[in-house]
């Protein structure tokens, strides 16, 4: 007797870079990316209702063999946790042409640090996560993929460098680990930058780390917009909080974000009008390395989306200047809105 085709999946763990990498590979195997995108519904555990999951996973696919429903961080909030008792019935009704994928990140399960309230919050989420794992594991059509936090951050950095097509010298890996304090997602962003700089022709050195990894508001803004382009709101918020913790003024951060999206619009226009990445530095007055990264970012957005985002930024700017909203709150609103593209 053959096993039934899996329809329910859970990707969870503290190693978000590896999780996202495997999730993207899984999604890539479902079919044509454009058609899959048309047949994808993304839900957040913070606001999703049981009917939302049932409707999304039960809707017939359009010009595709697969309907995809992504539910992120169901166990993080009371709203999402309240749905767990009803999930067995939902899982039983998922059609064979549908894929219901749960993603649980930002777990921070290693160590109950923080205030009593924070420890309680983590404990409640861990209990809910164990319940979700059990539900998917015990379903004959369920599959669970765990991505635990690494025991050795330096070894993890060395391995991730290879994933980015680079080698890193041991001293450089240790230096990078010391600068990033165990933040896997930020480390992965830095490794991508360092690997690009090394160009695959030599290992990443300590000198490279010193040159490229010192705290830089502009670099963090670039990375934040990149995270927003991937709808990775958690990463974008983490980068925003890092900027604020380092003492950057919220209004200055907002101004840099506006500038970044203005450049993205210019890059999108340049490419849409037949321009090349090689001609972009001269056309836009930016460095060639920046041009390559801007081109990659701009491809994540259509022009209509970029223009809508820019209008929202101008509206938010007016709200800030009129005193109707505090700058720091405006930044958090901005990240939440753009990550969801609402």
What's the confidence (pLDDT) of residue 246? 77
pLDDT at 215: 63
| Residue (of 161, 206, 218) closest to 179 by Cα position | 206
d(CA 173, CA 159): 10
What CA dihedral angle connects 231, 232, 238 and 240, to 10 degrees?
Answer: -20
Chain-centroid distance of CA 149 in Å reads: 17
pLDDT at site 113:
42
Q: Which of 157, 161, 192 shows the shortest CA–CA distance to 176?
A: 157
Predicted local distance difference test score (pLDDT) of residue 111:
39
Contact 73, 103 (CB under 8 A): yes
Lookup result for tokens 């780390």: 209
Tell me the average confidence (pLDDT) per consecutive run of 10 residues in the chain, 342 residues long.
Answer: 87 94 94 92 92 96 95 93 95 97 76 57 91 97 94 92 96 87 84 93 94 73 78 84 84 88 91 88 71 80 88 93 92 86 52
Rounded Cα distance, 235 and 231, in Å: 9
In order of their start, the domains of the chain are 8-146 (3.40.50.300), 153-214 (1.10.8.60), 219-340 (1.20.272.10)
Model pTM score: 0.64
Structure tokens that stand for 209 in this block: 């780390």
Kindly list the distances between the CA atom of residue 257 and the CA atoms of 2, 173, 236, 251, in Å, as whole numbers in the listed order. Answer: 53, 30, 12, 10
Query: What b/e sequence results for 114-152 when a residue is b if at least 16 CB atoms lie within 10 Å of its CB, and e otherwise?
Result: eeeeeeeebeebeebbeebbebbeebebbebeebebbee
Region for residue 149 given its phi and psi (left: phi exceeds 0; alpha: psi -120 to 50; beta: otherwise)? beta
Q: Per residue in 310-342, is it b (16+ CB within 10 Å) or e — as a string?
A: eebbeebeebbeeeeeebeebbeebbebbbeee
Tell me the Ramachandran region of residue 203: left when phi exceeds 0, alpha when psi lies from -120 to 50, beta otherwise.
beta
């Amino acid at each position: 007797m053959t096993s039934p085709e899996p329809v329910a999946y859970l990707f969870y763990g503290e190693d978000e870079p590896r999780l996202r990498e495997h999730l993207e590979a899984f999604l890539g195997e479902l079919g044509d990316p454009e058609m899959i995108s048309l047949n994808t519904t993304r839900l957040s555990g913070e606001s999703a209702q049981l009917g939302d999951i049932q409707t999304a996973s039960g809707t017939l696919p359009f010009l595709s063999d697969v309907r995809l429903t992504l539910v992120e961080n169901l166990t993080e909030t009371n709203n999402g946790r309240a749905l767990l008792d009803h999930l067995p019935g939902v899982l039983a009704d998922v059609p064979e042409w549908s894929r219901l994928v749960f993603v649980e990140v930002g777990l921070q399960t290693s160590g109950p640090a923080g205030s009593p309230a924070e420890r309680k919050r983590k404990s409640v989420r861990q209990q809910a996560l164990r319940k979700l794992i059990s539900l998917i594991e015990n379903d004959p059509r369920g599959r669970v993929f765990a991505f635990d936090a690494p025991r050795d951050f330096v070894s993890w950095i060395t391995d991730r460098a290879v994933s980015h097509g680079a080698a890193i010298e041991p001293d450089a890996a240790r230096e990078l680990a010391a600068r990033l304090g165990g933040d896997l997602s930020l480390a992965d962003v830095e490794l991508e930058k360092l690997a690009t700089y090394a160009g695959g022709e030599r290992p990443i050195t300590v000198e490279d780390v010193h040159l490229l990894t010192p705290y830089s508001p502009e670099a963090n803004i670039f990375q934040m917009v990149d995270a927003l382009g991937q709808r990775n709101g958690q990463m974008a918020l983490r980068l925003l909080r890092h900027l604020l913790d380092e003492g950057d003024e919220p209004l200055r951060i907002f101004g840099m974000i506006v500038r970044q999206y203005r450049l993205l619009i210019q890059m999108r226009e340049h490419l849409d009008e037949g321009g090349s990445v090689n001609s972009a530095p001269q056309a836009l007055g930016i460095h060639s390395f920046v041009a390559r990264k801007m081109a990659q970012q701009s491809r994540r957005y259509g022009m209509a989306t970029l223009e809508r985002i820019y209008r929202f930024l101008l509206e938010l700017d007016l709200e800030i200047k009129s005193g109707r909203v505090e700058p720091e709150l405006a930044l958090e609103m901005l990240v939440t809105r753009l990550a969801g593209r609402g």
